[in-house]
Structure 1
Amino acid sequence: MQRQWIIDNLYEKGYSYQELLSKFVIDGKADFEEMILGILDVHHIDVINNISVLGFLQHHGCPTPLLDWTYKFQTALYFGLDKLEENTGSREIDNYFSVYFINQKDMEGGGMRQVMDDSLDVFDEEHSAEMIAKYSKDEAQRLEMTEHFKGRKIFDKDRIPGSGMIEYVTRVEHMIEFPLSFFSDKDANTGFIFSLNNSKNILNQSGVFVWNASPSKPLEVVGAELYFADKENANPDEYRFCECFNINKELASYIEQKLAEDGITKDYIYPTLDIDTWGVYEKNV
């Protein structure tokens, strides 16, 4: 989305980034809700949340603040090879293509699942202390009850799906306050499901999303700003938003052959080429 924001001079034309994204969600729901629901097993208020809709739009052509990554190295290799150009110059680096990767452990702390989990833990602690203070007769009983209920949870996370909590938290007006975040439905047993696997493209590509709330700054710049804001005396040389494998282009045909043997082909990666969400962008810009 940052590229389109700059190329199309949307800021100079008076567009509000937040309002534009909200319009994308509204039109995305109107045009594609039936498709999104068609591939999901569970239907409730949290399924058609803003991130779910934006993720669908992103994977099918409409630019959004969600950058799509993958858990699967084979998929990353496929995209690295896609539209690969032969080096016709003299620079050695152009003999290689790159596959970039992020360590998930470095992203999870700022992921929306972790943010929600931490918030519920704080709620549990505060509410538990409040209830114990209310019903204990004296300080001794308060301490005894505090120890007895230590580690117990008041809020049942199994009841989160369908409660409306995820739909509320992921609204554009709330997400815009998070400079960087991470969305994944890989570990569904946590209770925090964002209904991201709502497209055959996303499923086959083992998709995962990184949210960048800035309309103009690249993902790695936002990440660097957050990193150094948290560590005032950090050495600039120690920060890397991501790492990469540089692979010689001479291996391209061999890699393509191996991927095809494993079923990683264009038809597998793009099973729904007929779905095009670019019209949502065009309608609002």
Structure 2
Amino acid sequence: MKEVDTSSNLNSRIKLFADWLNNGGVKTIWSNHLLEDLIKVKFRADGTVDESTVSSVVRAALLAYEGTQWSQPHSSIELMTEYQTTLQKALIFEQVMIDTKEDFDSIYEENKNSKSTLYRGVSEAKWRIYSSLQRYWINEKLYESGADYKTFIEKTISNAKKQNAGVLEKFFKKNGISPDNDIAVLSFLQHYGCPTPLVDWSNSFKNALYFATENVNEYKDDSREIDKYFSIYHIEEKDLISTSLVSLVEKGISEMEKHVKDNVIQNGQSEGIEQTEMEKFFGRDRLKMATKMLHQNDLIKFVTKIERLITFPLTYFSDINEENDIQFSLNNSMNIINQEGVFIWNSDPFKPIEQVGNEQFGNKEDVIYRFSKCYNINKKLSDYVKDKIRQEGINSEFIYPDPNLIAKNSFDETKASC
């Protein structure tokens, strides 16, 4: 297990440059002098470069290419971009490379029971973290039609509530969910394949491993280094609390408490009850309870509307913590229950979530900001990882529960027991 080498030394530069050369870069070199000098570079028995064989021309080329990796990939509404190297990715993520079964077992034991961390598994380490709607918006060039991103999201929600004679709206009402809760609708659509601005994360490391290995590409020896890995991103939940919708609702409740208290005291005085007596009866806990009863549902409806969500570059919400009575009605499908799903909202039509996060949180002086930590796991370990989580019952039937199969299996097992 090793962290990504971000040091600027000759051996690391040679390795980085060789990776580029072996994957098409050599075809772009126009200088015969450089090609001749590259051929002269020699290595010692331990794999390190013989510095005396590295000319000034080669050193300049190494520095030039390394410089291209010290900036983020370009973000454009016209094109989805990827990380070219783990060095470039290290600008945004704190990375650890996992290349052996022993290394994997170590992080598995460390994370398998965690419930205070958000995980996201992807099958390619080079991918940036785009939402499904961003991928559709960019790839299908919807921006060329003059469509507005916010309006498009609002229309998707409105159309969802009209389908099949409004069955989704009826379903929500029957289950105590407000159809005016936009993120509840988006959560439902997300789990049935509709592109949305929500990015799926999970409180389960094992589930993230499933998603990362579900469709992982075959390992190839001649691939670029970054192409040889899949990734598990992980963020401590406490680091996102300040941007959570729960925090926004709690802040709103706190601001409303004074108004509730003033109204209670005013009404009491009109009935001839002294203010001191009213304050004794309405202590802090009772005041908060009364405020929640009066205003919490309206506050949830208020903050979950797209017209307000779109003003938050990035925000986080979940209903995982059942002890918290501020819930956003996200648990509206069996998928999200087993997947232990939570969401990060990205309001930008083309910037990936890590870039938005960097712009939102990474502006403090003298602080090196990384959006999240990341395990880059060698694809050679894919089968080992799959076997590991399969033994824990993490398979397609668990991740994507089928109601028809649940009904059939329950009856079949009952028959078999008779």
Q: TM-score range by the shorter chain?
A: 0.7 to 0.9
Does 2:210 correspond to 1:73? Answer: no
Amino acid of the structure 2 residue aligned with 1:177:
T
Does 2:383 correspond to 1:248? Answer: no
Range moving further from structure 2, 1-10 or 99-108: 1-10
Please, what TM-score do these two structures have when normalized by structure 1?
Answer: 0.79
- Tell me what 1:283 maps to: none
Amino acid of the structure 1 residue aligned with 2:355:
V
Alpha-carbon distance in structure 1 between the residues aligned to 2:139 and 2:150:
18
How far off is 1:272 after superposition?
A: 4.8
- Tell me what 1:167 maps to: 301
Does 2:308 correspond to 1:178? Answer: no
Contact conserved, 1:58 with 1:66, CA < 8 A, in 2?
yes
Contact conserved, 2:207 with 2:339, CA < 8 A, in 1?
yes
- Secondary structure at 1:240 match in 2: coil
- Tell me what 2:161 maps to: 29
- Tell me what 2:358 maps to: 224
How far off is 1:112 after superposition?
A: 0.5
How far off is 1:246 after superposition?
A: 2.1
Match of 2:227 among 88, 94, 109: 94
Unpaired segments ≥5 residues, structure 1: 275-285
Does 2:401 correspond to 1:271? Answer: yes
- Tell me what 1:111 maps to: 244
- Secondary structure at 1:109 match in 2: helix
Alpha-carbon distance in structure 2 between the residues aligned to 1:57 and 1:36:
13
Note the alpha carbon deviations across 1:202-230, whole angstroms, 9 max, x for none: 1221110001111121111111111145x
Amino acid of the structure 1 residue aligned with 2:193:
G
Contact conserved, 2:256 with 2:291, CA < 8 A, in 1?
no
How far off is 1:89 after superposition?
A: 1.9
* Structure with higher RCO (Cα < 8 A, 6+ apart): 1
- The list of structure 1 runs, each at least 4 consecutive aligned residues, that deviate by more than 6 angstroms after superposition, is 133-136, 141-148
How far off is 1:258 after superposition?
A: 2.1
- Tell me what 1:64 maps to: 196
Alpha-carbon distance in structure 1 between the residues aligned to 2:331 and 2:211:
19
Does 2:287 correspond to 1:157? Answer: no
TM-aligned CA distance change 1:158 to 1:188, over 3 Å: farther
Amino acid of the structure 2 residue aligned with 1:120:
I
Alpha-carbon distance in structure 2 between the residues aligned to 1:195 and 1:111:
15
Amino acid of the structure 2 residue aligned with 1:182:
Y
Contact conserved, 2:160 with 2:168, CA < 8 A, in 1?
no
Amino acid of the structure 2 residue aligned with 1:58:
Q
Amino acid of the structure 2 residue aligned with 1:212:
N
How far off is 1:126 after superposition?
A: 4.8
TM-aligned CA distance change 1:228 to 1:271, over 3 Å: same
Contact conserved, 1:66 with 1:211, CA < 8 A, in 2?
yes
- Tell me what 2:137 maps to: 5
Note the alpha carbon deviations across 1:31-70, whole angstroms, 9 max, x for none: 38646876x8972352662101111211221111111111
TM-aligned CA distance change 1:13 to 1:158, over 3 Å: same
Please, what TM-score do these two structures have when normalized by structure 2?
Answer: 0.56
Bigger CA radius of gyration? 2
Alpha-carbon distance in structure 2 between the residues aligned to 1:157 and 1:126:
12
TM-aligned CA distance change 1:186 to 1:47, over 3 Å: farther
- Tell me what 1:262 maps to: 392
Alpha-carbon distance in structure 2 between the residues aligned to 1:36 and 1:92:
48
Contact conserved, 2:229 with 2:376, CA < 8 A, in 1?
yes
Alpha-carbon distance in structure 1 between the residues aligned to 2:173 and 2:153:
27
How far off is 1:10 after superposition?
A: 2.0
TM-aligned CA distance change 1:212 to 1:63, over 3 Å: same
Alpha-carbon distance in structure 1 between the residues aligned to 2:208 and 2:324:
26
Match of 1:20 among 127, 152, 160: 152
Note the alpha carbon deviations across 1:226-284, whole angstroms, 9 max, x for none: 1145x3x243xx2111111122323221221122222211222123599xxxxxxxxxx
Alpha-carbon distance in structure 2 between the residues aligned to 1:35 and 1:135:
44
State the number of aligned residues: 265
Amino acid of the structure 1 residue aligned with 2:197:
P
- Secondary structure at 1:243 match in 2: strand
Amino acid of the structure 2 residue aligned with 1:102:
I
Unpaired segments ≥5 residues, structure 2: 1-132, 405-418
Contact conserved, 1:45 with 1:167, CA < 8 A, in 2?
no
Contact conserved, 2:354 with 2:371, CA < 8 A, in 1?
yes
TM-aligned CA distance change 1:272 to 1:29, over 3 Å: farther
Note the alpha carbon deviations across 1:99-141, whole angstroms, 9 max, x for none: 11111111111110111011111211354357658988xxxx9
Alpha-carbon distance in structure 1 between the residues aligned to 2:359 and 2:380:
37
Does 2:346 correspond to 1:212? Answer: yes
- Secondary structure at 1:11 match in 2: helix
Alpha-carbon distance in structure 2 between the residues aligned to 1:227 and 1:268:
36
Alpha-carbon distance in structure 1 between the residues aligned to 2:329 and 2:174:
9
Contact conserved, 1:100 with 1:243, CA < 8 A, in 2?
yes
Q: Please provide the CA RMSD for this pair.
A: 3.3
